[in-house]
Amino acid sequence: MLKTKFFQKPIFHLILFLVTFVTTVIAGTEWITGTMGPYDFETLAIGLPYSLSALFILATHEFGHYFAAKLNKVKATLPYFIPLPPFPGFFNFGTMGAVIKTKSEIPTNKAMFDIGVSGPIAGFIASIIVLVYGFTHLPSVDYLLSIHPGYFSTEYGKETISLQFGNNLLFLFLQNVFTSSKDFVPPMTEVYHYPYLMTGWFGLLITAMNMIPVGQLDGGHIIYSMFGSKVQEAVASISMIILVVLGISGIADGVLELGFGFGWSGWLFWSLILYFIIKVKHPPVRYFDDLDLTRKLFGYFSLLILLVSFSPSPFIISF
């Protein structure tokens, strides 16, 4: 009992936050410099923009849920930040995100909707803020050349493993609006050296993953609260099929070297997590009523967020 109470105390949340701060600083330093540690404190300072912007997006998303729960008189924990220890290679983001946990029943679909929709919208806005700052404060090409002196060489990138981030509609839109021909806009194979672009892009990916209308993901809460269980289950089933197709397509593209660059093996892994852990069908609430017009508009806006943030091929690895 004492251990359980400790995990619910603010000090435990603070410890997790501080550990995640450290792991994201290390991850950011690794991404930006392209080198592994050990690092001194001066070098670690390079990872601060990545860490602070990533934590800003995660905290905004989770506190959106938290305050919506409080407004609906649903007991909820403070956010649990999940650190990811540094390890060599791709996908070392320093964190596996953050979550809150409700400690009392969510009695109505209106409360369920408010809690479900608030996080993605808050995190979406935070991601846009970070991306706009990133695109309006792009360093000169000398910044990239200081990391990769031979970037413009014909031999650059040959016989090495390359990671390319997949575009989405919003990232492309913001890039076109907030950059000009005078700016050096990094290709998607080099975005990970630019902390604000990387964390903003990553924020959109996490938002899209949470907005998939399956089970108790945010998207599942929203679709269930708006349309009921039958529609949610049908939409969730279609979504699962799409994820499986994208996952198999990504695997086939990688194994058979088809070169069409569509799909990602991670979507298949995500679909398995959703099916076996998150579940496809949303659990019922005690009281279900039609939502008012304002909530419906926010609901449709959240579905637009999914559309503009989703990338069929978020990670493309080439050899």
Low-confidence ranges of the chain (pLDDT < 50): 1-2
What is the pLDDT at residue 259?
A: 67
pLDDT for position 18 = 97
User: pTM of this prediction?
Assistant: 0.94
Model pLDDT, residue 1: 47
Which class for 207: exposed (0-12), middle (13-18), buried (19 or more C-beta within 10 A)? buried
Those residues with Cβ within 8 angstroms of residue 38's Cβ, 6 or more apart along the chain or in another chain:
none
Rounded to whole angstroms, what are the CA distances from 131 to 54, 182, 211, 223, 311?
11, 18, 20, 28, 16
User: In Å, how far from its chain's centre is CA 155?
Assistant: 33
Helix (H), strand (E) at residue 12: helix 10-33
- What is the model's pLDDT at position 2? 47
| Residue spans per domain, the chain | 68-78+104-318
Q: What's the CA gap between 166 and 189, in Å, rounded?
A: 9
The residues with which 163 forms a beta bridge, in sequence order, are: 317
